[in-house]
Amino acid sequence: MTPIYALTGVQHCYGGRCVVDVPALEVRPGEILGVVGPSGAGKSTLLRLLNFLEAPTRGRIAYRGGEAGPEAPLALRREVVTVFQRPVLLGRSVMGNVRVGQRIRGAAAEGEAEAWLDRLGLGGLARAHARTLSAGEAQRVALARALLVKPAVLLLDEPTGNLDPYNTGLIEEIVRAENAERGTTVVLVTHDVFQARRLAQRAGLMVGGRIVELAGASAFFTSPQQPETAAFLNGELVGSAVPSETVPARRKPHWGRRRA
């Protein structure tokens, strides 16, 4: 199977320190790939690279066989959408935020935005201003915005970090359905091994910017081959060796302007 992403010799550095160092990684079309690891492991930076927001410092990222990065064709960049842990919402209503990408692309369909808000338990907030939302509501608005444009690839950065158990289960059900029914490729990064085990078909551990183990989900969670993986799954502290995943303010992604 031809991979949808192929990373070769990829390093990404800030201030001379590499926060991602991945010699090789493939993402298969139509799979849910879970990437777990401690805070500061480089997981969020990896998603920014996969979302074409930045080009790697070294190495190559191929998407559908072609060069990936900020200069990739707009049509390809529009296939990939990220839901960030702390999403950026525009200074407008919930509905205005959900429909912004759809309107720019000229693909508005009557009732779809309302249906996604209802499905995510946000129907009563359609006219509410984004600044009045809780962190969990903002995450669900960002997910509705992403799913409305029917992406080929959905990148999820701690997508339920601010949610209660009920809404966590709801989001996981929706992710499974999009993967099964539409064949959406999903890359999920999280420190929650239980969520990764529930959702992922393959799983990998990222520590210090490196993928130290990658395997089918069953083998990964039940019989890990690397001591770091066993330690992380047992709840033991694993050092990240990465100083910070924080990007300078000028480089923070803005979905509404950059990704629409």
Span 43-59, pLDDT tens digits: 999 999 999 999 999 99
pLDDT of residue 251: 35
Number of structural domains in the chain? 1
Q: What is the pLDDT of residues 104-163, one digit of tens each?
A: 776 656 688 999 999 999 999 999 999 999 999 999 999 999 999 999 999 999 999 889
Q: Which residue range is the domain that position 243 belongs to?
A: 5-259
Q: Which two structure tokens, joined as six digits, stand for 259?
A: 């990704």
Give dist(CA 200, CA 186) in Å, integer.
9
Q: Give the 3-state secondary structure of the chain.
A: CCCCEEEEEEEEEECCEEEEEEEEEEECCCCEEEEECCCCCCHHHHHHHHCCCCCCCEEEEEECCEECCCCCCHHHHCCEEEECCCCCCCCCEHHHHHHHHHHHHCCCCCCHHHHHHHHCCCHHHCCCEHHHCCHHHHHHHHHHHHHHCCCCEEEEECCCCCCCHHHHHHHHHHHHHHHHHHCCEEEEEECCHHHHHHHCCEEEEEECCEEEEEEEHHHHHHCCCCHHHHHHHCCCCCCCCCCCCCCCHHHCCCHHHHHC
Model confidence at 73, in pLDDT bands (50, 70, 90)? Answer: confident
Per the listing, tokens 């000028």 go with 250
Between 97 and 238, whose confidence is greater?
97
Of the chain, the percentage scoring pLDDT greater than 90 comes to 71
Q: How confident is the model at residue 210 (pLDDT cuts 50, 70, 90)?
A: very high
Q: At what angle do helices 94-105 and 112-119 cross, to 10 degrees?
A: 140
Angle ∠(34,37,39) on CA atoms, nearest 5: 130
pLDDT of residue 257: 37
Whether 87 and 255 have beta carbons less than 8 Å apart is answered as yes
Q: Tell me, rounded to whole angstroms, the distance of Cα 14 from its chain centroid.
A: 21
- pLDDT of 162 reads 84
pTM, rounded to two decimals? 0.88
| pLDDT at position 24 over 90 | yes
* 150-203: pLDDT as tens digits: 999 999 999 998 899 999 999 999 999 999 999 999 999 998 899 999 999 999
Position with higher pLDDT, 12 vs 39: 12
Q: Average pLDDT for residues 224-251, to the nearest whole number? A: 67
Mean pLDDT of the region 218-226: 96
> Does 247 score more than 90 pLDDT?
no
CATH of the domain at 237: 3.40.50.300
